[in-house]
Structure 1
C-alpha cells in the first residue's frame, strides 16, 4: 500500500508538471485571442497587423525551439524546463503594460523564446520516458491535455478580459508557481545526455531533417498550423464584426473548438490510427477540418458557430497526435527531443505565417475568404499523406 506522501512524490508530480508546462504554449496565444479586438481598438492597431500580435511568439518559438531542443538533448530536458517557465511568466505578464504595438510585439517575441524552451523540454521528457504504444497513448493524452487547456484558457481570457484586455495577460503568471513545482519534481536527479552522445548531434540532426519522410511530416505540420490558427486569430474578429460577440463569447467559441479535439485525442486517435493506418486517419482529420472551415462565413448564429467549432476540433484532434507520433516513430532516441522540438517549431512557424499568408487574402478578397483559403490549405496538407511515407533506413 502506498504511503500518504506517495501522491506528492517527485516521480508522481513529474508528468503533471510536464503536461501543465506544455499547456502554457497554448495559453500564450489562446488567452489573448478573445480580447484581440478590444486590444486592437485600444492601441489603435490596424486589422491586418493585429493578427501578428497573436502569432508573433510563434515565429521566435519556431526559430529557437530547435536550438533549445539540442540543448535539452545535451544537458537533459528537465534542466531546460525551469528557466523556460520562469521567463514565460515574466514576459507573459509584462505584455499587459506595453503602451503600443511595437513594444508589445517585442515582448511577444521574447515570450515565444520561452515557449520554445517549454516545447523542447516537455516533448523531450515525454520522448525519453515512453516508447512504442505507451508513447502513442501518452502523446494522445498530452494532446488531450493541450486541447482541454485550449478550452480553459480562452474561456479564462475572455472572462477576465471582459472588463479590460490587460487582465488576460496576467493569466501567464500561473507559470511562476508551476516553476517551483518543477524544481521539486525534477530536483537535480534528471540525467543529462552523456557527453559521447552529445558530440556531433547538430550534424546528425541536419541529416535526419533532410530525409524525405521527416521533411514531408514537417511540411504537413506547417500547412496544418497555418489553417488551424486561422480559427484562433480570425474567428473572434469575424464574430465580433458579424455577430457582435463579446470577448467572453469569443472565448466560448474557441473553447468549443477544443472540446472535440480533447475527446478525439484522448479516446479516438489511437483506435482510428490502428484501424485505418496513421496516414489515412490523419487525412480524415484534415478533411473534417476543411469541411468545417469553409462554411464559417455562412453561419449567422452563435449555436451554429459553436457546432462548427466543435466539429473542427474533432478533425484537429485527429491530426495533431498522429503527426507527432509519426515524427517520433522515425526519430533516433538520442535526437528525439531535438526532432520533436523542430516539429513544434515548424508548427508554430505555421501559426506565425497564418496572419501573414492569410492577411494577403484578407486585404485582397475580404475576411470571409480567409476561411475558404484555410480550408484549401487543410486539403493540401491531407493530400500529402495519401501516399505512404518511405520507410526509414534501418
Structure 2
C-alpha cells in the first residue's frame, strides 16, 4: 500500500471525533472531583469513602478495558465505541441522582465499565486510522483531550456551574448531554478496522501469523507489554492520587477558597493536555524509551516540589502544571504507541486493553483507595509519598523498555545493514 496516498480526510475526521470522545470520558470521570466538598457535605462522606468511589470506577474500568480490547479485535470498533459512549454519558447524568455512598459507588462503577470499554477501542481505532509515521503524535492528540476537558476545564466548569445551578446534582446532567450528540456523529463517520488503510496493512501480518495461536500469555511474554503495564500503574499512582485528592488537600489543608482551588486544580488538565500530545509526539523523534525515562524523572521531581509548596496559587498552579505534563504524558506514551507497536499482529486493541486495564486496576483503582486510607488515618498531606514511590519505580523499569519508534528502529536497522 502506498503510504504517500494516505486517506487523510478520514484520518483527521475520526481523530477529531475520538479526541472529543475521550475528552468527554475525562470530563464525565473527573467532574466529580471539584464537586466533592459539596457532595461530601450533602452525603456525609469521609476521605476513605472518596477513595472507594474513585477506586470502584478504576477497577471496573480496568477489568472491562482488558476484555473490551480483546472483543473489539474480533467484532470491530463501531458497536463498542458507540454503545459505550451512550452508556457512560447516561452514568454521568445518573451520578447527580445518587442518594448515598452505595448508590454513588454503583453508578460510578457502571461508568467505569463503559469508559473502560471505550478507552482501548478508541486508541486502537486511532492507531489504524493514523499514518504510521505520525501515529505517536495522533494518539497523543486523541488522549490529550482527556486531560484538557476532564482535569483542565472540568474544575472551572464545575465551580462556575455551582454558582448558577441549584446544587451539584444538576452539573452532572449538563455535562452528560454532549456524549449523546457525539454518538450520532460517530455512527456516520467511524469505520471498522479493515475498512481503513491501517487495518488493511495488518491483513498481511495476520496472514503471515495465521498458524500461530496468540493468547493472553503471549501478550504477557512480550517484554514491552509487561513493562508498559507496570509503568502505567506507576504513573497512574501519581495521576489519580493527585486528581482525586488534591482538591480536598487544597481546601482542607492549605485552606484555599473553592474558586482558588478550581484554578489550581485546572493546572492538572492544562499541563496534562500539553503532555499527552507533546510527550508521545517527541517520542517519535527521540524514542519511546528515553521519553519514558525523562517523563518519570520529571514526575518524581515535581511531585516532591508540589508536596512542599506554600499556599500560593501561582506557585501551586505552575508546579502542578509541570507535574501533570510529565505524568499524563506518560499515560499517553505507555498506553498508546508503545503498547500498539509492541503488540503481536492482529492484537493491537487487546494489547492496549491489557496495558490500560492493569494500570487502571492498580493505579486508578487500588491507589485512590490507599490514598483515602492514608488521608483518613495519617493526614491528607501525606498522600504524596505514594505517588513519589510510584514514579521512582517507573523510572527504573523504563530503562528496560525495547525501542519501538519507527524512526529510531529504521535508523538502527540501516546502521546494522551498513556494518
What residue in structure 1 maps to residue 94 of structure 2?
Answer: 94
Distance 2:281 2:356 in 1: 20
TM superposition score normalised by structure 2: 0.82
SS in 1 for 2:184: helix
What residue in structure 2 maps to residue 281 of structure 1?
Answer: 291
What residue in structure 2 maps to residue 231 of structure 1?
Answer: 242
Please state how far the C-alpha of 1:59 moved relative to its aligned partner: 1.1
What residue in structure 1 maps to residue 81 of structure 2?
Answer: 81
SS in 1 for 2:346: helix
Partner residue of 2:317 out of 300, 306, 310: 306
Please state how far the C-alpha of 1:169 moved relative to its aligned partner: 1.4
User: Is the contact between residue 30 and residue 157 of structure 1 (CA under 8 Å) also seen in structure 2?
Assistant: no
Partner residue of 1:291 out of 283, 301, 309: 301
2:340 pairs with 1:328: yes
Residues 47, 364 of structure 1: alpha-carbon distance in 2 compared, 3 angstrom cutoff: closer
Distance 2:70 2:351 in 1: 9
What residue in structure 2 maps to residue 207 of structure 1?
Answer: 218
TM superposition score normalised by structure 1: 0.87
What residue in structure 2 maps to residue 343 of structure 1?
Answer: 355
What residue in structure 2 maps to residue 4 of structure 1?
Answer: none
2:260 pairs with 1:259: no
Residues 325, 263 of structure 1: alpha-carbon distance in 2 compared, 3 angstrom cutoff: same
Distance 1:109 1:265 in 2: 25
Distance 1:35 1:226 in 2: 22
Distance 1:249 1:300 in 2: 10
What residue in structure 1 maps to residue 368 of structure 2?
Answer: 355
Residues 201, 312 of structure 1: alpha-carbon distance in 2 compared, 3 angstrom cutoff: farther
User: Is the contact between residue 72 and residue 349 of structure 2 (CA under 8 Å) also seen in structure 1?
Assistant: yes
SS in 2 for 1:295: helix
Residues 158, 283 of structure 1: alpha-carbon distance in 2 compared, 3 angstrom cutoff: farther
2:394 pairs with 1:381: yes
Distance 2:313 2:32 in 1: 20
User: Is the contact between residue 289 and residue 401 of structure 2 (CA under 8 Å) also seen in structure 1?
Assistant: yes
User: Bigger shift: 242-251 or 209-218?
Assistant: 242-251
User: Bigger shift: 33-42 or 125-134?
Assistant: 125-134
Distance 2:358 2:38 in 1: 29
What residue in structure 1 maps to residue 70 of structure 2?
Answer: 70
Distance 1:337 1:188 in 2: 13
User: Is the contact between residue 220 and residue 381 of structure 1 (CA under 8 Å) also seen in structure 2?
Assistant: yes
What residue in structure 2 maps to residue 179 of structure 1?
Answer: 183
User: Is the contact between residue 159 and residue 259 of structure 2 (CA under 8 Å) also seen in structure 1?
Assistant: yes
Partner residue of 2:261 out of 246, 250, 257: 250
What residue in structure 1 maps to residue 56 of structure 2?
Answer: 56
Distance 2:258 2:170 in 1: 12
Please state how far the C-alpha of 1:130 moved relative to its aligned partner: 2.6
Distance 1:295 1:319 in 2: 19
User: Bigger shift: 237-246 or 177-186?
Assistant: 237-246
Distance 1:152 1:264 in 2: 16
Please state how far the C-alpha of 1:390 moved relative to its aligned partner: 8.7
Residues 212, 268 of structure 1: alpha-carbon distance in 2 compared, 3 angstrom cutoff: closer
Q: 5+ unaligned residues in a row in structure 1: which ranges?
A: 1-8
Matches within 5 A, 1:107-256: 107-149=107-149, 150-162=151-163, 163=165, 164-170=167-173, 171-186=175-190, 191=195, 204-256=215-267
What residue in structure 2 maps to residue 5 of structure 1?
Answer: none
Distance 2:353 2:135 in 1: 16
Residues 136, 41 of structure 1: alpha-carbon distance in 2 compared, 3 angstrom cutoff: same
SS in 2 for 1:97: coil
User: Bigger shift: 41-50 or 237-246?
Assistant: 237-246
Distance 1:93 1:255 in 2: 22
Please state how far the C-alpha of 1:190 moved relative to its aligned partner: 7.3
Distance 2:278 2:160 in 1: 29
Q: 5+ unaligned residues in a row in structure 2: which ranges?
A: 1-8, 405-419
Over residues 178-224 of structure 1, what are the superposed CA-to-partner deviations in whole Å (9 max), with x where a residue is unaligned? 11111122378975999x98x99995233212333311210110121
Q: RMSD over aligned Cα, in angstroms?
A: 2.9
SS in 2 for 1:99: coil
